[in-house]
């Protein structure tokens, strides 16, 4: 059975990180480029938000005995295959997982325009993820 307490604690962390990032939603690309401290705060907080979603997703996948994901992005696909997330949200969260890899491994220089765009347009994806997960853990669950 999904550990609702664990999932709700992780959701609470996600809420806290999102609230912290809202302070930066009005930032311009130039302001972002010019302030390494803001870059560090925003990028690390985004990484933690994405990783929190991955933790939640991994817990659900393991607990319910869904197929084993082959990548971080695939974790969200597995949730979609099992009607935890809708397809549009799966696609957006898969992009977040791939973006997490760029943040962590810095395969390339982080594009300031992408970060600022994410702050302005994509933070709501975390709201949708939260809503879907809370709805899932509140559903009656059949034994495996």
What residue spans define the domains of the chain?
Answer: 4-138
Each residue's pLDDT tens digit, 30-67: 999 999 999 999 999 999 999 999 999 999 999 999 99
**pLDDT of 104 strictly over 70:** yes
> Which listed CATH number (3.60.130.10, 3.30.470.20, 1.20.120.580, 3.40.50.970) goes with 4-138?
1.20.120.580
Confidence category of residue 107, pLDDT binned at 50, 70, 90 = low
Mean pLDDT of 74-100: 96
Q: 125-128, long-range: CB within 8 Å, 24+ apart, which pairs?
A: 125/89, 125/92, 125/93, 125/96, 126/14, 126/18, 126/49, 126/53, 127/18, 128/89, 128/92
């Amino acid at each position: 059975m999904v550990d609702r307490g664990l999932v709700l604690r992780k959701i609470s962390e996600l809420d806290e990180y999102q609230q912290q990032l809202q302070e930066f939603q009005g930032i311009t690309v130039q302001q972002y480029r010019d302030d390494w401290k803001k870059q560090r705060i925003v990028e690390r907080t985004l990484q933690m938000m994405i990783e929190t979603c991955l933790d939640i997703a991994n817990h659900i996948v393991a607990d319910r005995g869904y197929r084993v994901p082959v990548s971080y992005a695939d974790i969200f696909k597995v949730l979609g295959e099992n009607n935890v997330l809708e397809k549009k949200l799966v696609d957006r969260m898969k992009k977040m997982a791939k973006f997490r890899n760029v943040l962590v491994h810095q395969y390339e220089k982080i594009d300031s325009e992408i970060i600022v765009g994410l702050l302005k347009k994509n933070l709501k994806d975390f709201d949708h993820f939260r809503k879907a997960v809370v709805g899932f853990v509140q559903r009656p669950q059949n034994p495996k």
